[in-house]
Structure 1
Amino acid sequence: MHEDLLREFVAACKPEEPVSPEDHRHFDFDAPELRLRGAPWRERLAQVIRLASEPTAQLVTGLRGSGKTTELRQLQRKLQESGRRVVLADAGQWLSDDRPLETEDLMLALVLALYPAGRPDDAAEWVREYANKAWTFLASQVELSGDVEGVRVQLTTDETVFERAAKKLRGADGLRREIHSLLADAAEASRRDGEELVVLLDGAEKRAVGDLHERERRSAFHNHWFGSFILSGRDLRPPVHVVYTVPPFMVRRGAELAANFGSELHFLPMVRVYDRESKLDPVGVEALTRALFKRVPVEHFADEATPRWLAAQSGGYFRDLLRFVTEMVYQVGDAPQFTRVHAEAAVSRIQQSYLEALVREDKQVLAEVHPSKSFPDQEAAQLRMDSLLQGFKMFRYHNGSAWYDAHPLCWAELGFAADLPSWEHLEELRG
């Protein structure tokens, strides 16, 4: 294949790149005729906001690369079409990886989410008023220098400034009252302007999870996340509609979150390519291949079974499907099309990265999960849930109710190689 074409494929298949609903590469796995992830949580989130008589705070999660940001962009469009003003902000740009999360970090992120980028003079009148109020509050509380525009730039570009500001806020008296008052004023001003205000705070779930720390230190990071929403949840329920993205390990304490924060935790499942009996779902496989063809057209595959086989190996994790294709790009050389040989070599390489991180305790738990499709209820197994989800070795699906499975790339290692589909099966498969 020509280098220019391969370069296009690499650019089109970036695993970490969120795709907006307007992007030609977007594929809606939750379309009514598919429903491959159960009932779309964007519809539930929108319904809660539409039917609420007062501001709501909702929690969503899912594995990295599963499509949360794309879902939130679809939610944004859905709410905007119904006459709401929706602010989608990346909280990940403000939060640190090096220290446990504090409630004040998220409160400050909420303030910055509504703070206009660029010159406030270019914003709506009520946004300019909010920016001036927020600037006055921040300048007085944390002694930041600079004008209205400069304060936001400082907090966004210099992580240490944000940390210092959040630390100062932790010692402030009446912090919740002041921040809630700021946000209430913004919500009321937007309402007077004819639009109900909604804040989608994305990206926070990628930060402060302690992934690279040893177990005890990582548990401390996780406990801070739980504490922010279970113990200090009132601080994070401001007088404006908010949707937070949170780390997937929080599903382990979903019942406590619902009881104490007052919101169910919505988990974005994988695309369903297998059913609960580990049989291929033809509709799911076909959908994944059609989504792939939006990035790498069908004529670049030597036969129909190759993209289907890749889809089956991904377990419905579209990020891994893109990783497979990217690896094939590096292997194809002068061959005119991607073949089964390229597919097998690419999958083998990605599979190795999973198996190298698969410790004995993981194997023991996953060997129970795969046949039962449920997570073991023993306490020791529950402690493995965080690392299995965070490490993408275990997926969550939804088909009437939630269920789990090991990543198909681990099945052979767990002793379930017979459950993997053959090339012959994929040749005959029809969606």
Structure 2
Amino acid sequence: MATREELRKLYKDLRPDVPLEPGSEFYEPIYTEHPELGLEDPVSRMATLVEFDGIESVRLFSGFRGSGKTTELKRLKRDLEADGYVVLYADALDYVNAVEPIDIAELLLALAGAFGEAVEREFGKDIHRESIWDRTLRFLRTDVAATEVALKAEVGVPGALKVGADLKFALRAASSFKLKLQQLLASRLRELKEDVDAFFEEGVKAIRASRGRDVRIVFIFDSLEQLRGTLQNEQAVIQSVERVFASHFDTLRFPYIHTVYTVPPWLKFVLPNTVQITLLSTVHLWNNDEARSHCKPAWDAFRSAVRRRFGDAGAAVLFGDDHAQQIDRLIGCCGGHFRDLLRLLQDTVVRATSSLAGDPAARVTEAINAARRDFLPVAVEDARWLARIGEHRETLLPDTDAETVNRLTRFLDCHAVLYFVNGDEWYDTHPLIRQEVADVVAKNPVQRD
């Protein structure tokens, strides 16, 4: 039987929510070492696009929850830097509010602020003569007094007003000031764009002065895909992001900069054939045929991923002599997401400290049942849609209204629906809920008039 210390180490090595650094011993190179899967390497694709685009470009990168987006972005950063690029990184959630609608003027300001601070972190504090936040208030010179009053009253800074810091804070707050600022900037969008472009160019000149005039620059603006809204305003948020990328895509291009945005994956559904998105897919543990036949290369990759985490010795400590069989049971229930497999394994580790400690098969069964319960209950209308997706292996999206798209996105984000690409693009339901979906549909037949 495993000791508590051994279990604690296994649990730590299975952390599912920690993005892996490039070169991590835990990273399973499914794109480079498992070519038989037929998966295009998204990092190689993005790096090639940046190279071929010349001196500047706009690229969109995305993935549903648990797809490994941040891990792959870190790999992209490493590979580009190895090729001589200067790669700057910023987290969008430090600059925008994920649960509020966004507009192009606000996003431009956030991007400039994020870029300026990323340059300062990398190259020192004296790159720009003034921050974009102070610069913006100066830019709104006819409205500066009213803006400062609004900031002081609504942001709540006591005493002397620290304008730049307060403006950055206000962009992330759900305040009436933010709405006023959006209105002011929207009316002068062209001027704002010119000023933001000039701000980026100043940063480029400073970088080139430090790294050489021919240096190529990439700016990664991560976490923008987390713009989701709340149950009350999710449709408004979806529509606002759609407007930004449908109407202002070229506005998001900056001089001498390759900009990589991580965007909500549902843009694929609301803007088909409009914007090009490199979208991470799930690994297909089964083939797209009626029987869902076993895909051996995918299973081999997942078994390899488990060995990287704790090896055969650790597997034997946790599962005993039949560790290969028990691990395969968990792989078969993860839906093709490495993160979900890690969660199942972690739950199994925890259950090894309970009354099930001496029965590895029972621990695995309980972990699988607990994972299944996380999906339940399945609403009748959801079950009907999920059943059709499983039958046809397509989304069968009836329209691109915000409400419908958000419903499908929830399926994909919680992994009730899985997105695959191996040659063709296809979808399927999660193996843990197929029987539950079928049972709900059978018990609630569609009433015919």
**Which category of TM-score, normalised to the shorter sequence, fits these structures?**
0.7 to 0.9
Q: Which residue of structure 2 lines up, in the alignment, with residue 314 of structure 1?
A: 334
Residue 355 of structure 1 is aligned with which of 361, 376, 380?
376
- Do 1:61 and 1:266's aligned partners in 2 also have CA atoms closer than 8 Å? yes
Q: Which residue of structure 1 lines up, in the alignment, with residue 398 of structure 2?
A: 378
Q: Which residue of structure 2 lines up, in the alignment, with residue 199 of structure 1?
A: 219
* 2:231 paired with 1:213: yes
Amino acid in the other structure paired with 2:279 = F
Q: Which residue of structure 2 lines up, in the alignment, with residue 295 of structure 1?
A: 309
Number of positions where the alignment pairs a residue of Structure 1 with one of Structure 2 = 402
Q: Which residue of structure 1 lines up, in the alignment, with residue 123 of structure 2?
A: 124
Q: Which residue of structure 2 lines up, in the alignment, with residue 429 of structure 1?
A: none
Amino acid in the other structure paired with 2:217 = L
* 2:154 paired with 1:140: no
**Separation in 1, partners of 2:71, 2:226:** 15
- Do 2:334 and 2:341's aligned partners in 1 also have CA atoms closer than 8 Å? yes
Q: Which residue of structure 2 lines up, in the alignment, with residue 261 of structure 1?
A: none
TM-score, normalised relative to structure 2: 0.80
Residue 331 of structure 1 is aligned with which of 351, 355, 377?
351
Amino acid in the other structure paired with 1:273 = L
- Do 1:37 and 1:272's aligned partners in 2 also have CA atoms closer than 8 Å? no
- Do 2:100 and 2:174's aligned partners in 1 also have CA atoms closer than 8 Å? no
**Separation in 2, partners of 1:40, 1:205:** 20
Q: Which residue of structure 1 lines up, in the alignment, with residue 444 of structure 2?
A: none
Query: Structure 2 regions of 5+ residues with no counterpart?
Result: 140-146, 152-156, 440-449
- Do 1:105 and 1:166's aligned partners in 2 also have CA atoms closer than 8 Å? no
Q: Which residue of structure 1 lines up, in the alignment, with residue 168 of structure 2?
A: 155
Q: Which residue of structure 2 lines up, in the alignment, with residue 344 of structure 1?
A: 365
- Do 2:97 and 2:171's aligned partners in 1 also have CA atoms closer than 8 Å? no
Q: Rg: which structure is higher?
A: 2
Q: Where do residues 4-43 of structure 1 align in structure 2 (5 Å cutoff)? A: 4-34=5-35, 36=37, 38-43=39-44
Amino acid in the other structure paired with 1:213 = L
Pairwise CA distance, 1:177: 1.2
Pairwise CA distance, 1:370: 1.6
Amino acid in the other structure paired with 1:73 = K
Structure 1 residues 320 and 150: alpha-carbon distance in aligned structure 2, compared to 1, 3 A threshold: farther
- Do 2:389 and 2:396's aligned partners in 1 also have CA atoms closer than 8 Å? yes
The CA deviation string for residues 322-381 of structure 1, in whole angstroms up to 9 with x for no partner, is 22112212211267788222111101111111122x222222122122232222253399
Look up the SS of the partner of 1:270 in the other structure.
coil
Structure 1 residues 62 and 139: alpha-carbon distance in aligned structure 2, compared to 1, 3 A threshold: same
**Separation in 2, partners of 1:36, 1:329:** 30
Look up the SS of the partner of 2:15 in the other structure.
coil
Backbone CA RMSD of aligned residues: 3.2
- Do 1:249 and 1:390's aligned partners in 2 also have CA atoms closer than 8 Å? no
Pairwise CA distance, 1:167: 5.5
The CA deviation string for residues 194-238 of structure 1, in whole angstroms up to 9 with x for no partner, is 32110111112113x12x415xx3222111111110022232222
**Separation in 1, partners of 2:253, 2:420:** 29
**Separation in 2, partners of 1:140, 1:311:** 57
**Separation in 1, partners of 2:205, 2:340:** 44
* 2:437 paired with 1:414: yes
Structure 1 residues 181 and 387: alpha-carbon distance in aligned structure 2, compared to 1, 3 A threshold: same
Pairwise CA distance, 1:161: 9.5
* 2:253 paired with 1:237: yes
Q: Which residue of structure 2 lines up, in the alignment, with residue 3 of structure 1?
A: 4
**Separation in 2, partners of 1:84, 1:371:** 46
Q: Which residue of structure 2 lines up, in the alignment, with residue 426 of structure 1?
A: none
- Do 2:104 and 2:248's aligned partners in 1 also have CA atoms closer than 8 Å? yes
**Separation in 1, partners of 2:179, 2:48:** 33
Pairwise CA distance, 1:187: 2.8
- Do 2:88 and 2:220's aligned partners in 1 also have CA atoms closer than 8 Å? yes
**Separation in 2, partners of 1:355, 1:252:** 26
Q: Where do residues 58-73 of structure 1 align in structure 2 (5 Å cutoff)? A: 58-73=59-74
Structure 1 residues 157 and 137: alpha-carbon distance in aligned structure 2, compared to 1, 3 A threshold: closer
Amino acid in the other structure paired with 2:280 = L
Residue 293 of structure 2 is aligned with which of 279, 283, 289?
279
- Do 1:204 and 1:245's aligned partners in 2 also have CA atoms closer than 8 Å? yes
